[in-house]
Amino acid sequence: MDITDRTAAVRDEPAYRASEVAHILALPAGTVKAWAFGQNYRYRDGRPKRFVKLIEAADSRRRLLSFNNLCELYVLSALRRKHRIPMPVVRDSLDFVSRELRTQRPLIARQFLTNGLDLFFTEAGRLLNASRQGQHAMDGDFERALQRIERDDRGTPVRLFPVVAPAAGDREAASGAVVIDPRLAFGRPALARAGVTTEVIADRFIARDAPAEMAADYGVDEADIWDAIRFELEPQRRAAA
């Protein structure tokens, strides 16, 4: 196996628990589990019902997810947060795009960034109009959200820069200080410029290490340290970013 194949394999390795993905994406753990593994529930009259999963998990038996799954769930969360498209419509639209683009993973396919997005929103709009919920047009916020997934020359996702909420409005939420890279820190959230995990920084902060001291230790800006701290300790703010 050459280095390209090994790198591709790393992106599909079962590496994350649902709770880790939920923390990274600022989503409820139950949402991640339902989207990735499906969920059983009951109608009010007691009849059983099954929520069908939206992605193919790297390891459904052990309930583990890969970096590629993380990117898929990130796109799904952006769709839900930016456009409020009902989940049955999302599922039907993804099925439609999969057939049209002939890909089993439309959410991270290169084509999804171009004609795939147009196909998705055309289908979503058609279904929404049929149910009298109105047209949902793609906006700049969603496009910017997708740009937080960095791709290689072949269009394959290689890094994800999760949203970090700004501090008191003085920094943009588009900060790229924190990165998820399967080749760095075993794929855990880390500072892009230093490789140290955000968990380590948050632990040091809780232990009363000064952000300025940590910045000097790792050779980064103090603002990067604060981004790591907010990422770990204030995920509820990231959910609305």
String of DSSP letters for 23-65: HHHT--HHHHHHHHH-EEEE-TTS-EEEEPPSS--SBTTTTEE
pLDDT value at 5 more than 70? no
Tokens at 201, concatenated: 């920084």
Greater confidence, 111 or 179?
179
Within a domain: 104? no
Query: How confident is the model over 216-241, as pLDDT tens digits?
Result: 999 999 999 999 999 999 876 565 55
**Which segment, 84-93, 129-138, 185-194, is predicted with the most confidence on average?**
185-194
pLDDT of residue 67: 97
Higher pLDDT, 106 or 208: 208
Q: Given this model, what pLDDT does residue 239 score?
A: 57
DSSP 86: -
The C-alpha atoms of residue 192 and residue 212 are separated, in whole angstroms, by: 18
pLDDT, tens only, 26-50: 999 999 999 999 988 777 777 778 8
Taking residues 165-171, report their average pLDDT.
63
> What's the total number of domains in the chain?
1
- Tell me the pTM: 0.85
**Is residue 110, in this structure, part of any structural domain at all?**
no
- Residue 132 domain flag: no
Q: How many CB atoms lie within 10 A of CB 37?
A: 16
Task: Work out the pLDDT band at 128, boundaries 50, 70, 90.
Answer: low
Shortest CA distance to 239 belongs to which of 187, 64, 230, 92?
A: 230
Domain membership flag for residue 22: no
Name 110's Cβ contacts closer than 8 Å, sequence gap at least 6.
151, 154, 155, 156
Q: How confident is the model at residue 111 (pLDDT cuts 50, 70, 90)?
A: confident
Domain assignment present for residue 80? The answer is no
Angle at which helix 222-233 crosses helix 211-218, to 10 degrees, equals: 110
Domain span at residue 222 reads 161-241
